[in-house]
Amino acid sequence: MSPPTASPDAERELRERNRRFYDALWRDARLVMPERFNTWPLVESLLPERPRRLEVAPGLRPRLPVADTHFADISPPALAALAAAGGRAACALVSRLPYADAAFDLVAAMDIVEHVDDDLPAFAELARVTAPGGLFLLSVPLHPQAWTPFDEFVGHRRRYEPERLLALLAAHGFAVERSAVHGMQPASSRLLDLGMWFLTHQRRRAMWWYNRVGMPLSVRFQAPLAVQDGMIATAGVDTVLLVCRRTAPDPDAAIPSPRNGHG
CATH superfamily of 10-184+222-246: Vaccinia Virus protein VP39 (3.40.50.150)
Give residue 44's pLDDT: 98
Encode pLDDT of 102-123 as tens digits: 999 999 999 999 988 889 999 9
Instruction: Give the closest residue to 112 by CA, choosing from 166, 68, 63, 66.
Output: 63
Band the pLDDT of 205: cuts 50, 70, 90: low
Q: What does the DSSP assignment read for the chain? A: --PPPPPTTHHHHHHHHHHHHHHHHHHT--PPPGGGSTTHHHHHHH-TT---EEEES-TT---S-STT-EEEES-HHHHHHHHHTT-EEEE-BTTB--S-TT-EEEEEEES-GGGSS-HHHHHHHHHHHEEEEEEEEEEEEB-GGG--HHHHHTT----B-HHHHHHHHHHTTEEEEEEEEE----S-HHHHHHHHHHHHH-HHHHHHHIIIIIHHHHHHTPPPP--EESPPP-TT-SEEEEEEEE----TT---PPPSSS--
Band the pLDDT of 3: cuts 50, 70, 90: very low
Phi, psi for 96 (deg, rounded to 5) = -145, 80
As a whole number, mean pLDDT of residues 133-152 equals 92
As a whole number, mean pLDDT of residues 227-238 equals 96
Measured between alpha carbons, how far is residue 24 from residues 105, 112, 152 in Å?
A: 32, 17, 17
Provide the whole-model pTM. 0.82
Q: Are 72 and 90 in contact (CB under 8 A)?
A: yes
Band the pLDDT of 160: cuts 50, 70, 90: very high
pLDDT for residue 27 is more than 50: yes
d(CA 59, CA 141) in angstroms, rounded, equals: 18
Q: What's the mean per-residue pLDDT of the chain?
A: 84
As a whole number, mean pLDDT of residues 136-159 equals 89
As a whole number, mean pLDDT of residues 58-68 equals 95
Give residue 17's pLDDT: 64
Encode pLDDT of 173-186 as tens digits: 999 999 999 975 55
d(CA 231, CA 128) in angstroms, rounded, equals: 23
Give residue 234's pLDDT: 96
